[in-house]
Amino acid sequence: MQTLNLDLGNRSYPIYIGSGILSMKKILCQHIEGKNIAIVSNETIANYYQEILCKSLGEYEILSITLPDGEKQKNLSTVEKIYDLLVENHFPRDSTLVALGGGVVGDITGFAASTYQRGVGFIQIPTTLLAQVDSSVGGKTGVNHPQSKNMIGAFYQPKAVIIDTETLKTLDKREISAGLAEVIKYGLLADANFFAWLENNIVELLARNDEALIQAITQSCKNKAKIVSEDELETNKRALLNLGHTFGHAIEAVLGYGNWLHGEAVGCGLVMAAKLSNQIGWLNTTELDRIIALIEKTGLPTKLPKEIDRKKLKEHMFFDKKILKGELRLVLLKKIGKALITTDFSENALDDLLLNF
């Protein structure tokens, strides 16, 4: 088992990474204060792992909250249902909410925890690769607005993140590929050696080799933890973690949430960011080709659907949270391993990319 620490002063917390750690009672219970626990999961994941988790927790008063699957559930109505159940069951301020599931479950549960009685305990147990390497770490919580992804939310750190790679065995191939989009992102934005390692180990990762997965997850979490510890509230450097996401979130919104997985939209968004970087004379063509080749090997889309409305795509990009003083800021690449937040591109260049991608 690997243990990392996300350093945020008195809000610091551990990230545990290993195989079979969901069954380790000592790890779970040291991060729970009161006797009331609400396990929030979805219909699929609850069937696989809720019983194992309940056995590990032992003698607590446990409330199970099972949500329907899918990105379409990531809204304020779902959060309200969680509030209703917590109130009906008289959950006090020393309660703990445990998110058992992917990024949707983690984001919803974290937002509910941040606002129920102005904040209760919260533990992340991510069960998808995408959630393990990205959304479970760093304290971003929230829900979607019909016009923009993650527009409503709060920064709220968990007490711990528990990453059990055994949960990846029940994912389908599409979900593994989607998670690898976020892994590739970490190599692109700040870690060229990690990107090269991914090029050499992509077959093992797709085959779910446990050693390769633990290494990829650990390095991704290290890279994210470093950035979050320096800029928790995304006033500057943390926005680098949105590489590919301004494009990706717009794709999700225009296609309809859930038609493409978040990681699929991000994978395509990474290619779009790389192509724009090359188009304006930054990223060289050799590195652009390497990026496209790795994303293709991962099984992620590298082209937009022909039917997507390019005008609407651009409109949704201007709902992005990185808009500052009316200007769209994008995360682009100087080279593999060096990203920056910039407005140093022309609107014509963006229009040309969207039209011809």
Residues acting as catalytic residues: 118, 140, 182, 224, 234, 238, 242, 245, 249, 262
- DSSP H helical ranges for 98-157: 103-115, 129-130
Q: How many angstroms separate the Cα of 323 from the Cα of each of 99, 185, 320, 342?
A: 30, 21, 6, 11
Q: Would you state the torsion angle of the CA atoms of residues 148, 150, 152, 156, taken in this order, to the nearest 10 degrees?
A: -170
Taking alpha carbons only, the member of 185, 32, 44 closest to residue 128 is 44
Amino acid at the residue 51: E
> For residues 268 and 304, is the Cβ–Cβ distance under 8 A?
yes
First CA to last CA distance, the chain: 42
Give how far Cα 86 sits from Cα of 1, 35, 69, 103, Å.
33, 14, 20, 21
Residue owning tokens 């590195």: 287
